[in-house]
């Protein structure tokens, strides 16, 4: 009876792999080639001081000459770096405009430019941004930009800004939709609000990191590999952990608190193994942006979105058309009735854990490709995922996906009005508002929730 499901999933895997291998080389080919200058600066930066360096290259981009196609270097500007303990180190830009400050690894550091040392006539393109906080070290060196003489980007009109935000929001929404679908399915079939779902997201990304950076597996193989590993972990946690607990008769609220314990345990176990820095995969980190209409975006972002859409469509089709998919929806709707009609509820729950964990892991692997991965990547988006699931309706399937896209768009578009570091506050407000006015969610059925 599972043949059809396996066929659908198999087809899906082939499509994703095919897509990756087709899109992969094209993406790889477009990695920045005209960035020789900045590569050179990065190399100098690595070896400027013993140990780790934060570098600033100051050039006046308005004054380009033949010798300096990127702009004339600005000498004698003081750069001050403050580490998390409040210790201060500084350096002055040399004849090539480079200032390298020796720092300890980690961070976040804050990098500040002393405006009094700027020569006459050179002004920062963004005079308000004399200080950059949260500069984290990824490798031996980190180059920080303070644009000078950069002309106002042509067309940062509201329209361009708006469409860029819509794009970013859509991408983020699709990424959290993968995780939200699993969370919603698990809630629907078992009644458990899984607070450890964020850690499953991190786990997928960190496994990809291990495969790619640690073992040298190409990323195109590392992501599917991490996905498969997460499917196995989903199987493992259902059989070794959650099923025995359900058999003991542990109530849902108790299980929810257990999931919090599990989340804390896993999160810090990740930190134990991987450290606390945000890390990047080995491939496709920097790419030349391509311009599509008003948008300027990395090719990898398009690939990420395409994979998300394909997987979501695949899972939706499997849920809608296959026998086991229908059984899953029946259990999510009413476990007792489903069980009475001869559906093996335990098989369905196991499948939901496997697929849900796999999808969360895939979401983390792709998030890592998009913005790097750290031990708390998942925790940071957990409440956004909750917001998505509650917006669509806890336990619903289509609602979770639609809710995720809506929350993604909402968080990004809210930055038009509120400071961007508060964008998650917007999502949390949305979560609380939706719980108050329509707790069953936009797509959920009305039932007793109070």
**Binding span for another protein by CB under 8 A among 171-179, 316-324, 345-353, 442-450:** 442-450
Within 119-148, which residues bind another protein (CB under 8 A)?
133
Could you say whether residue 236 binds another protein (CB under 8 A)? Answer: no
Q: DSSP readout, 226-294?
A: HHHHHHHHHHHHIIIIIHHHHHTT--HHHHHHHHHHHHHHHHHHHHHHH-SS-B--SSSSS---EEETT
Could you say whether residue 254 binds another protein (CB under 8 A)? Answer: yes
Phi, psi (5° rounding) for residue 248?
Answer: -70, -10
Could you say whether residue 216 binds another protein (CB under 8 A)? Answer: no
Within 52-81, which residues bind another protein (CB under 8 A)?
none
**Burial of 157: CB neighbours in 10 Å, binned 0-12, 13-18, 19+:** exposed
Q: With contact defined as beta carbons under 8 Å apart, do 208 and 222 qualify?
A: yes
Q: With contact defined as beta carbons under 8 Å apart, do 41 and 98 qualify?
A: yes
Could you say whether residue 6 binds another protein (CB under 8 A)? Answer: no
Could you say whether residue 416 binds another protein (CB under 8 A)? Answer: no
Structure tokens at 34: 């005209």
**Binding span for another protein by CB under 8 A among 1-9, 24-32, 269-277, 311-319:** 269-277
Out of 256, 306, 317, 442, the residue judged to bind another protein by CB under 8 A? 256
Residue closer to another protein, measured from CB, 193 or 279: 193
Report, in Å, the least distance between residue 52 CB and another protein.
16
Could you say whether residue 260 binds another protein (CB under 8 A)? Answer: yes
Q: With contact defined as beta carbons under 8 Å apart, do 442 and 192 qualify?
A: no
Report, in Å, the least distance between residue 256 CB and another protein.
6
Q: Using CA atoms, how far apart are residues 91 and 74, in angstroms rounded to an integer?
A: 14
CA 246 to chain centre: 32
Residue closer to another protein, measured from CB, 299 or 441: 441
Could you say whether residue 253 binds another protein (CB under 8 A)? Answer: yes
- 3-state DSSP call for residue 53? strand
Kindly list the residues in this chain that would bind another protein in the complex (CB under 8 A). 133, 191, 193, 245, 248, 250-254, 256-258, 260-269, 271-272, 383, 386-387, 390, 394, 419, 421-422, 424-425, 428-429, 431-432, 435-436, 439, 448-450
């Amino acid at each position: 009876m599972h043949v059809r499901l396996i066929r659908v999933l198999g087809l899906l895997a082939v499509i994703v792999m095919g897509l990756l291998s087709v899109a992969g080389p094209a993406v790889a080919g477009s990695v920045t080639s005209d960035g020789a200058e900045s590569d050179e600066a990065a190399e100098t930066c690595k070896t400027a001081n013993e140990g780790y360096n934060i570098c600033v290259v100051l050039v006046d981009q308005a004054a380009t000459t033949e010798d300096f196609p990127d702009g004339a270097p600005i000498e004698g500007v003081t750069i001050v770096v403050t580490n998390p303990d409040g210790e201060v180190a500084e350096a002055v830009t040399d004849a090539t405009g480079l200032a390298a400050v020796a720092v300890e690894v980690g961070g976040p550091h804050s990098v500040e430019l002393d405006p009094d040392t700027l020569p006459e006539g050179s002004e920062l393109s963004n005079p308000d941004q004399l200080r950059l906080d949260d500069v984290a070290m990824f490798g031996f060196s980190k180059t920080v930009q303070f644009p000078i003489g950069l002309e106002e980007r042509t067309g940062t009109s509201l329209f361009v800004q708006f469409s860029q935000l819509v794009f970013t929001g859509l991408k983020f929404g699709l990424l959290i939709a993968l995780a939200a679908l699993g969370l919603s399915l698990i809630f629907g079939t078992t009644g458990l609000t899984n607070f450890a779902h964020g850690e499953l997201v991190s786990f997928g990304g960190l496994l990809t990191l291990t495969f790619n950076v640690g073992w040298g597996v190409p990323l195109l193989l590392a992501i599917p590999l991490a996905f498969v590993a997460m499917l196995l972990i989903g199987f493992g946690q259902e059989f070794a952990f959650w099923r025995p607990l359900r058999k003991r008769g542990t109530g849902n609220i108790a299980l929810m608190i257990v999931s919090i314990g599990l989340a804390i345990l896993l999160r810090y176990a990740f930190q134990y193994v991987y450290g606390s820095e945000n890390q990047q995969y080995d491939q496709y980190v920097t790419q030349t942006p391509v311009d599509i209409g008003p948008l300027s975006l990395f090719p990898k972002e398009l690939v990420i979105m395409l994979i998300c859409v394909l997987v979501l469509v695949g899972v939706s089709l499997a849920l809608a058309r296959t026998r086991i998919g229908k059984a899953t929806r029946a259990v999510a709707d009413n476990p007792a009735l489903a069980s009475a009609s001869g559906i093996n509820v335990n098989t369905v729950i196991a499948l939901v854990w496997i697929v849900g964990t796999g999808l969360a892991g895939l979401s983390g692997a792709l998030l890592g490709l998009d913005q790097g991965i750290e031990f708390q990547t998942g925790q940071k988006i957990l409440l956004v995922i909750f917001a998505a699931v509650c917006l669509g309706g806890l336990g619903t399937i289509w609602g979770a996906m639609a809710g995720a896209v809506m929350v993604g768009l909402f968080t990004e578009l809210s930055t038009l009005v509120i400071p961007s570091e508060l964008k998650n506050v917007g999502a949390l407000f949305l979560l609380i508002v939706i719980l108050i006015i329509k707790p069953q969610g936009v797509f959920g059925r009305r039932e007793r929730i109070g």
